[in-house]
Structure formats: structure tokens, C-alpha cells
Amino acid sequence: DQQVKQNSPSLSVQEGRISILNCDYTNSMFDYFLWYKKYPAEGPTFLISISSIKDKNEDGRFTVFLNKSAKHLSLHIVPSQPGDSAVYFCAARVSGGYQKVTFGTGTKLQVIP
Amino acid sequence: AAGVIQSPRHLIKEKRETATLKCYPIPRHDTVYWYQQGPGQDPQFLISFYEKMQSDKGSIPDRFSAQQFSDYHSELNMSSLELGDSALYFCATTGGNTEAFFGQGTRLTVV
């Protein structure tokens, strides 16, 4: 049962354009959402997060949008840079000291110079 | 700033051997999670510990066990290794915050 889904396994974007990565979840108990960036053979690197009490969080070129009614979130990268090329994992958890993070299947982003 | 440390970074074992992976959390983090990522797969949750007690269990085989020690570091013990155990193993830690920070992972290759 995949509780966090990323339906696009890959995405190619021209440098300077906007990258939009999408994520859907099914567990209504999730109240905290995270995006991780991962290079091959490295651990996931935390990128940005959003609490369910917000619908938008921005950090530099990265913005995450949350639509709770649709159980959907997205990560926008503007402008996209070649160094952004990596696999991006959407993740979700229930707030609490020991609640695990549940990952999506990942979207491979390629930014073309 | 100190990050999550995993050791070793790479490990090669033969079938039926035993492996021990270690995870050292960020200072003051009391929760450790273990994940396994096979080739072309998303990270799968194995097991977690909170304040040295097992807090959640995922798809961890019976051949694997783990524990968290008094200094909050954790060890994942894997016995009777199989070829299918070859994967990247990540640990992540939290300290009551909602973000989980990951180590660089241990690449286990079973031959």
C-alpha cells in the first residue's frame, strides 16, 4: 500500500525554467510533509518541508505547495539549474517524536543546460 | 554542524555471512530510523527506535535485528545474508523535530 505516491518517475526541464514535481498521499493522518533530494549512492538530503497548517512554504528557489483537500503537494524549483538534477523524494509523516517518515517513489529531475 | 554518521560506507560480504551497520545520530537526537533502498527502488522503512526502545517495525526480515544503545547510536545486525540483501542502507535521526536527517548510507554488496 503506497501511501505516498509520485506518479512521474522522471522529468526533464530546460535550465532557467520552472520544475514542478508532484506528490499525492492517501493517509489523512499525515500532517508534515518533506522533500528530499538524492544523488546516486548518497543519503537523502533534506530540502524543504511544510506543516499541514500551511499551504505554502518558500525557501529561495524552492517552494512547496500543499492542498490538503486534494491530499496533494508539489515542489516548485524556479529557476531550475543543472545542479538540481537528482532524484527528488516526497515524504510524509505524522508529527511526533518517533513517527517514521514514509517516502514516495521518487522523481528523477534532469535540468538541461 | 555535525551530521548523521554511518559506518562503514561500503561493505562486501559473502552469502550466509553476518554484517553489522552502525549509525551515529546528530547530538541530542533520540530517534533512529533504518531504511533499505534496493536498486531502482524508493527507500523502504525497516525499523525505528525511540529512547532506546523499538518504536516501529516495517519490512525488516527476521534475519535482521537492531538496537539503540545508551549513547543513542544504533546498530543493524544482518545474518544469513542473501544476494537480495544487497542495497543501500540509510539511517535517519530526529530529535522531536519533524525533519529527519539522513546519513550518507552504507552500500552493502552480498556476493
Residues with Cβ within 8 Å of residue B61, at least 6 apart in sequence: none
DSSP B85: G
- Alpha carbon of B30: minimum distance to chain A alpha carbons (Å): 8
- Residue B38's nearest CA partner among B111, B102, B88, B93 is B88
Determine the residue type at B80.
Answer: S
The reply to whether B97 touches chain A by the CB within 8 Å rule is no
Query: Which is more confident, B97 or B81?
Result: B81
In the block, cell 554484517 appears at B19
Q: How many CA atoms lie within 13 A of B15 on its CB side?
A: 4
**pLDDT computed for residue A75 by the predictor:** 98
- Could you please report the per-residue DSSP string of B10-76? EEEE-TT--EEEEEEPPTT--EEEEEEE-TT---EEEEEEETTEEEEE-S--TTEEEEE-TTS-EEE
Q: What is the mean pLDDT of residues B23-27?
A: 93
The reply to whether B47 touches chain A by the CB within 8 Å rule is no
Q: Which residue of B has its CA nearest to A108?
A: B40
Q: What is the mean pLDDT of residues B81-90?
A: 95
Mean model confidence pLDDT for chain A: 92
Q: Do B104 and A42 touch (CB under 8 A)?
A: yes
Coil vs helix vs strand at B96 = coil
Q: Do A44 and B30 touch (CB under 8 A)?
A: no
Cross-strand pairs, B83: none
* Chain B residues with CB-CB distance to A29 below 8 A: none
Query: Which is more confident, B20 or B58?
Result: B20
Q: What is the mean pLDDT of residues B76-100?
A: 89
DSSP A92: E
Cross-strand pairs, B72: none
Q: Do A43 and B90 touch (CB under 8 A)?
A: yes
Interface of A with B (CB under 8 A): 32, 34, 36, 41-46, 49, 51, 89, 91, 93, 95, 97-106
* Chain A residues with CB-CB distance to B42 below 8 A: 89, 103-106
Q: What is the CA radius of gyration of chain A?
A: 13
B41 falls in which pLDDT band (50, 70, 90)? confident
Q: Do B50 and A101 touch (CB under 8 A)?
A: no
Give dist(CA A34, CA B43) in Å, integer.
14
**B9 and B106 Cβ atoms separated by less than 8 Å:** yes
- Alpha carbon of A70: minimum distance to chain B alpha carbons (Å): 22
- Residue B33's nearest CA partner among B1, B4, B9, B13 is B4
What distances in angstroms separate CA A38 from CA A84, A99, A105, A106, one per listed residue?
10, 22, 12, 9
Main-chain dihedrals φ then ψ at residue B42, nearest 5 degrees:
-80, 160
In the block, cell 500532517 appears at A31
Residue percentage of chain B with pLDDT more than 90: 64
**A48 and A59 Cβ atoms separated by less than 8 Å:** yes
The reply to whether B107 touches chain A by the CB within 8 Å rule is yes
Main-chain dihedrals φ then ψ at residue B79, nearest 5 degrees:
-115, 165
Choose the mutation target among A99, A102, A103, A107 for the interface with B, i.e. most B CBs under 10 Å.
Answer: A99
Q: Which residue of A has its CA nearest to B97?
A: A97
